[in-house]
Homo-oligomer: A and B are copies of this chain.
Amino acid sequence: MSPKITTELLKQLRQVMKNPKYVQEPVQAYIVPSGDAHQSEYIAPCDCRRAFISGFDGSAGTAIVTEQHAAMWTDGRYFLQAAHQMDNNWTLMKMGLKDTPTQEDWLVSVLPEGSKVGVDPFIIPADQWKRMSKALRSAGHDLVPVKENLIDTIWTDCPQRPCKPLITLDLSYTGVSWRDKIIALRSKMAERKVLWFVVTALDEVAWLFNLRGSDVEYNPVFFAYAVIGMNTIRLFIDGERMMDPAVREHLQLDSTLEPEFKIQVMPYGSILSELQAVGAGLSPKEKVWLSDKASYALSEAIPKAHRYLTPYTPICIVKAVKNTSETEGMRRAHVKDAVALCELFNWLEKEVVPKGTVTEIIAADKAEEFRSQQKDFVELSFATISSTGPNGAIIHYKPVPETNRTLSVNEIYLLDSGAQYKDGTTDVTRTMHFGTPSAYEKECFTYVLKGHIAVSAAIFPNGTKGHLLDSFARSALWDCGLDYLHGTGHGVGSFLNVHEGPCGISYKTFADEPLEAGMIVSDEPGYYEDGSFGIRIENVVLVIPAETKYNFKNRGSLTFEPLTLVPIQTKMIDVNLLTQKECNWVNDYHQKCREVIGAELERQGRHEALRWLIRETEPLIRMQ
Contacts and interface: CB of A to CB of B under 8 A. Distances in A.
Given A468-B471, A475-B458, A481 B552 contact: yes
A475 to B, nearest CB: 7
Nearest to A461: B483
Interface residues of A, number: 30
Q: Which of A459, A479, A555 has the most CB of B within 10 A?
A: A479
Contact of A470 (B458, B459, B468, B480): B468
Contacts of A463: 98
Contact of A461 (B478, B548, B551): B478
A460 B480 contact: no
B550 A468 contact: no
A502 B552 CA distance: 31
Contacts of A468: 470-471, 507
Contacts of A458: 475, 478
A549 B472 contact: no
A46 interface: no
A548 B479 contact: yes
A475 B454 CA distance: 10
Contacts of A483: 461, 552-553, 555
B469 A557 contact: no
A549 B507 contact: no
A329 to B, nearest CB: 30
Contacts of A60: none
A510 interface: yes
A482 interface: yes
A548 B481 contact: yes
A41 B263 CA distance: 57
A551 B472 CA distance: 19
B481 A550 contact: yes
A579 to B, nearest CB: 8
A459 B478 contact: yes
Contact of A552 (B471, B482, B507, B548): B482
Interface string A539-557: 0000000001111110101
Contacts of A555: 483
A524 to B, nearest CB: 18
Nearest to A308: B138
Contacts of A482: 550, 552
Contacts of A459: 478-481
A65 to B, nearest CB: 26
Nearest to A514: B98
Contacts of A579: 579
A529 B160 CA distance: 64
A369 B479 CA distance: 42
Most chain-B CB neighbours within 10 Å: which of A460, A548, A550?
Answer: A550
A549 B460 CA distance: 31
A46 to B, nearest CB: 37
Contacts of A481: 459, 461, 548-552, 557
A548 B482 CA distance: 9
A478 to B, nearest CB: 5
A481 B552 CA distance: 6
Given A98-B463, A461-B483, A552-B483, A475 B472 contact: yes
A553 B69 CA distance: 28
Contacts of A480: 459, 548-550
Interface string A428-469: 000000000000000000000000000000111101000011
Interface in A61-114: 98
A481 to B, nearest CB: 3
Contacts of A461: 478, 481, 483
8 contacts: A458-B475, A460-B471, A461-B478, A461-B483, A468-B507, A479-B548, A482-B552, A579-B579
Interface of A: 98, 458-461, 463, 468-472, 475, 477-483, 507, 510, 548-553, 555, 557, 579
| Ranked 8 nearest A-B pairs via Cβ | A481-B548, A510-B510, A480-B549, A481-B550, A481-B551, A468-B471, A482-B552, A483-B552
